[in-house]
Amino acid sequence: MRRLTLLFAGLLLLPASIGAAQGDPAEVKLEWKSGSTARLPLRCEPFAPVGDRDARTTSVQGDEVLAADLAGSAVFQVVKTWDPTSSGSTPQFVTGGKWTVRGTQLKLSGELRDFPGRRPILVKEYSGPVADWRGLVHRFADDIVLQLTGEPGVAGTRIAFVSRAGRDMELCVMDFDGHGLTQLTNDRSIARSPNWSPDGSLLIFTSYRGGTGPQLWVMNPANRKPFPISTRSGINTSGIYSPDGQRIACTLSQDGNSEIYVLDARGGSPQRLTNNRSVDTSPCWSPTGREITFTSGRSGNPQIYVMDSDGGNPRRLTYDVDYTDSPMWSPKGDRIAFVSRTGAGFDLYVCRSDGTGAQRVVSGGSNENPHWAPDGRHLVFSSNRDGALALYVTDLDGTPPRKLETGGRKALSPAWSPRH
């Protein structure tokens, strides 16, 4: 139990005080403690294959996917009993169960037990087509995380991103673990900066497909039909849905200079939020929808600011860092991730939503466009840290970022989907 307490202190977000002295009293302020590597030691035992011949073929793959999901949750330190190279502390929990294949149907009987007592903590059945075995494993993994933390995991989420081949940048989507990569555009143009609608059904992105510069387009990844949202003269960039999905914050230069606007969800009724001679861009809503963080060059070089979502009360958040951009408000509202220039590249930082406590969380190479996982435990970002541009995930606990497979494509500009 002591380990559990440590874990919660280290990894989870403790409500410290509601309506802290600084900032909007309506925002819940949360304490974040970083640098902890405390994870729950968990032992993964293989599923017992039952039924058809290919039950074993898929079950051994299922074993690996469950272990990867649980390790990727940043909640567990995973030991795989079938892998002699896998080792760790004495486990507190053990997973396993039965993997039954009948024709085209799979029944996954998942079990989470304490260890060594093996008393059941979670026993649950998941049924579906064998073809969707990954989906069933992801659901089991997310339920395990839910059972032990009170909040589901993110194994069922997806990541949208942009792949670059030569001059062309195309929008793509894949599962959070890199599986099932699908290219969504084939414009031979530039696509950039995707963001999901809050229900996960739509992607808004910047595209040059119209031939007259950057415009905002929206696509349902299921049918891949893009439709225009803002094609106003000048630039139309940095589109992002409000938490209720009713509005879109974005950058437009229709009035001569990059300013932040809020549009309705169809791209109409623009409301201008900023008004100065320098660049304002990269808006991101707070989870309450009451505030917007953004980047402005009004103080000389780009810095992070926060304003009310009607444009009022703008205040500067970052001071002691160089050129900063790409602010992303965490799903719980307690933190803001951003990038700051260091030498030839960018490092990732996370600060509290009032700008205090900025910590560098990723450095080495150039690291850009951080985007939060819906559980607030991870950031996905693009980096050239190993040479070619690729996507990485940091668990914000001091462990090295892990690379996401993108089928050999150069990848950038990621956006983590909400839970479906």
Partner 1 sequence: MRPMNMLRALVLVALVAVAAAGCAKKTVQTPPAPPAETPTQTPTPPVTPTPTPTPTAPTTGLPLDQATLGKLQVVYFALDSDAIDEGGQSSLDANARALKSTTGDFVIEGHCDERGTAEYNQSLGERRAKAVQQYFADQGIALSRITVVSYGKDRPAVEGSDEQAWSKNRRAEFSLRK
The strand order across the sheet containing 335-342 reads: 324-329, 335-342, 345-352, 359-362
The CB density around residue 203, as the number of other CB atoms within 10 Å, is: 24
**Closer residue to partner 1, CB minimum distance, 136 or 252:** 252
Q: Which residues are paired to 342 by β-bridges?
A: 345
Return the closest-CA partner of residue 258 out of 241, 272, 243, 247.
272
Q: Give CA–CA dist 320/347, Å, rounded.
A: 14
Segment near partner 1 (CB under 8 A); pick from 52-60, 206-214, 267-275, 349-357? 206-214
DSSP annotation of 104 reads T
Q: Does 297 bind partner 1 (CB under 8 A)?
A: yes
Residue 195 binds to partner 1 (criterion: CB under 8 A)? no
Q: Which of 302, 331, 333, 414 binds partner 1 (CB under 8 A)?
A: 302
Q: Which is nearer to partner 1, 187 or 395 (CB)?
A: 187
The yes or no reply on residue 282 touching partner 1 (CB under 8 A) is: yes
Nearer Cβ to partner 1 (107/232): 232
Residue 192 in contact with partner 1, rule: CB under 8 A = yes
Read off the amino acid at residue 264. D
Task: Choose one: 4-12, 49-57, 320-328, 398-406; the region binding partner 1 (CB under 8 A).
Answer: 320-328
Q: Site residues for partner 1, window 336-375 (CB under 8 A)?
A: 339, 341, 344, 346, 366, 368-369
Q: How far apart are CA 161 and CA 39, in angstroms?
A: 29
CA pair distance 71, 401, nearest whole angstrom:
13
Number of residues that bind partner 1 (CB under 8 A): 39
Minimum CB distance to partner 1 smaller for 222 or for 344: 344
Residue linked to tokens 């970052």: 318
Q: Do the beta carbons of residue 78 and residue 92 sit within 8 Å?
A: no
DSSP state of 103: T
Site for partner 1 in 219-258 (CB under 8 A): 234-235, 237-238, 251, 253, 256-258
d(CA 373, CA 143): 17
Task: Give residues in contact with partner 1 (CB under 8 A).
Answer: 167, 169, 190, 192-193, 206, 208, 211-214, 234-235, 237-238, 251, 253, 256-258, 279, 281-282, 295, 297, 301-302, 323, 325-326, 339, 341, 344, 346, 366, 368-369, 412-413
